[in-house]
Amino acid sequence: MSTDAPQGITITKRAMKAELLDAETEYALAVAWRDDRDEKALHRLIHAYMRLAVSMAMKFKRYSVSQQDLIQEAGIGLMKAAEKFDPDRGFRFSTYAQWWIKASIQDFVMRNWSMVRTGSTTSQKSLFFNLKRVQAKIEREAQQSDVQLDRAELDELIAQEIGVPLRDVEMMQGRMSGSDFSLNAPQASDEDTREWMDTLEDPSPQSAEVVEREHDLNKMRGWITDAMSVLSDREKYIIAQRKLMDEPRTLEGIGTELKLSKERIRQIEAVALEKLRKRLENNAGKAARALVMA
């Protein structure tokens, strides 16, 4: 039994002994919390429906999640429901709270299922919690009809049954088929065997690539420096502000600074770019121009 079982049982017993609210009392408590932020009313409302939260949490025990954590997440969902509940809409709080409780539990289960995020969209959640059930149903029906289904056919039928894209089914099948393991785990039982980490490709550039890239960058810098030498000081400033900044400035902003119109700045920029293009073509060829001016 899980170490948190005794505490979970205590919470469950306490919830089962909570009062049952009639519609009028429930409405009065909800209004008191919504309009007056009456914390006593909120506490009484939450405590009364913790029974519902515990009951819904127990339906998710098969996902190998702590019972105490499930109940805690159900309680969080219940509190969210109380915060957003509008008693004037005419339906009972329990009806409204069920959605928030279920959503809170499902989000928690999916967050803790794997170190790799299992999914967050509506279709992915629907798949996660219904995939095995629907797959078993389709396989059972196929067996009864003496029909053999391959993996592709099975996935397509699952997608149709749940109403989600086929690619989502294939993705979820892959994520749920395996379990997490440490990259520091040995590949074999031998004492000198290497770890799985050793098989990963180093994503950093190799030394030859670094040298080649640095050589190309230096050549590009030389081309640009030479091309910029044909520009006037004002043209250099505008090109620098418009093309060489991490966050390029607007024509209007530069125009205000230089006391010129936005259209005049655009004209100067166009002339300067044409000068750069011609200089680059003359000195470095069309390949260099295409690379720098892209």
User: CA-to-CA distance for 139 and 114, rounded, in angstroms?
Assistant: 26
Q: Token digits for 88?
A: 């004037």
DSSP code of residue 145: T
User: What pLDDT, on a 0 to 100 scale, did the predictor assign at position 123?
Assistant: 67
Computed over every residue of the chain, the mean pLDDT equals: 78
Residue 150 has pLDDT above 80, yes or no: yes
Side chain identity at 8, as an amino acid letter?
A: G
Return the percentage of the chain with pLDDT > 90, whole number. 28
Architecture of domain 210-293: Orthogonal Bundle (1.10)
What lies within 8 Å, CB to CB, of 115 at 6+ separation is 180
Delimit the domains of the chain by residue range: 5-113, 122-176, 210-293
Query: Domain 5-113, CATH 1.20.120.1810 — does that match?
Result: yes
Phi, psi torsion values for 289, nearest 5 degrees: -60, -45
The predicted-structure confidence for 259-268, as pLDDT tens digits, reads as follows: 999 999 999 9
Record the pTM. Answer: 0.45
pLDDT, tens digit, 9 for 90 and up, residues 122-138 = 667 777 777 778 888 88
Band of the pLDDT at 120, cuts 50, 70, 90?
low
**In whole angstroms, how far apart are CA 137 and each of 123, 176, 177, 183, 250?**
19, 18, 18, 36, 61
Q: Is the pLDDT of residue 181 over 50?
A: no
